[in-house]
A and B are shown apart, each in its own frame.
Chain A
Amino acid sequence: MFDHGQPSYAEVNKDILSTMLETGPRYWMLLGTTMSVAGICFFMPWVYQLFVGVGAAGMNHNAVWGTYISNFIFWIGLSHSGTLLSAVLHLTKSQWRKSIYRSAEAMTLFSLMTAALFVMVHVGRVWFVHWTFPIPNQMGLWPNFRSPLMFDVMAITTYLTASSIFIYMGSVPDFAAVRDASTGLRRRLYTIFSFGWRGTAREWHTLGWAYTFFAVFVVPLAVSVHSIVSWDFALSVVPGLHHTIFAPYFVCGAIYSGTAGIVTVMYCLRKFLHFERYIGQVHLDNLGKLLITLSLIWSYINILELFSGWFGGTSFELEAMRFKLTGFYAPLYWEMILFCAFVPLLMLFKKIRLSWNKMLVISILINIGMLTERFIIVATSLPRKFLPNAFGFYFPSWIEISITVGSFAIFATLFLIFIKWVPAVSIYEVKETLKPLRRNT
Chain B
Amino acid sequence: MAVMGAFAYEDDFLAAAEKLKSSGFDKISLLSPLPLEEAQEVLGLGKSPVRYFSLGGAIIGAISGFAMAFGTALVFILPTGGRAIMALPPFFVITYEMTILMGVLFTLLGFHFISGLPAWHDKPYLSSASIDRFVVVVEDAAAEQVARAEAILRDAGAEEIRHVEEDQ
Contact = CB atoms under 8 A, between A and B. Distances in A.
B34 interface: yes
Contact of B108 (A142, A155, A169, A440): A169
Interface in B1-47: 8-12, 29-36, 39-40, 42-43, 45, 47
Interface string B97-124: 1101101110110111011111111010
A217 B94 contact: no
The SS class assigned to the A binding surface is helix
A201 B38 CA distance: 9
A224 B97 contact: yes
A428 B130 CA distance: 8
Contact of A154 (B78, B97, B111): B97
Interface string A127-159: 000000010000000111111101100110110
Given A210-B50, A217-B103, A428 B34 contact: yes
B101 A158 contact: yes
A158 B98 CA distance: 8
A206 B39 contact: no
A202 to B, nearest CB: 6
A210 B108 contact: yes
Given A154-B98, A196-B117, A143 B33 contact: no
A162 B101 contact: yes
Contact of B115 (A157, A202, A214): A202
A204 B31 CA distance: 9
A199 B130 contact: yes
Interface string B79-100: 0100100010011011011101
B32 A439 contact: no
A213 B119 contact: no
B32 A199 contact: yes
A207 B111 contact: yes
B117 A201 contact: no
A219 to B, nearest CB: 10
B40 A145 contact: no
Given A146-B90, A206-B48, A209-B51, A161 B104 contact: yes
A436 B10 contact: yes
Interface stretch (B68-76, B146-154, B160-168): B68-76
A203 B76 contact: no
Given A198-B31, A199-B32, A13 B107 contact: no
B31 A200 contact: yes
Contacts of B68: 134, 145
A10 interface: yes
Given A210-B108, A436-B10, 5 more contacts: A13-B131, A199-B129, A201-B39, A210-B48, A224-B97
7 contacts: A155-B93, A196-B117, A196-B120, A202-B29, A202-B116, A206-B114, A209-B50
Shortest 4 CB-CB contacts between residues of A and residues of B:
A9-B132, A209-B48, A180-B127, A204-B35
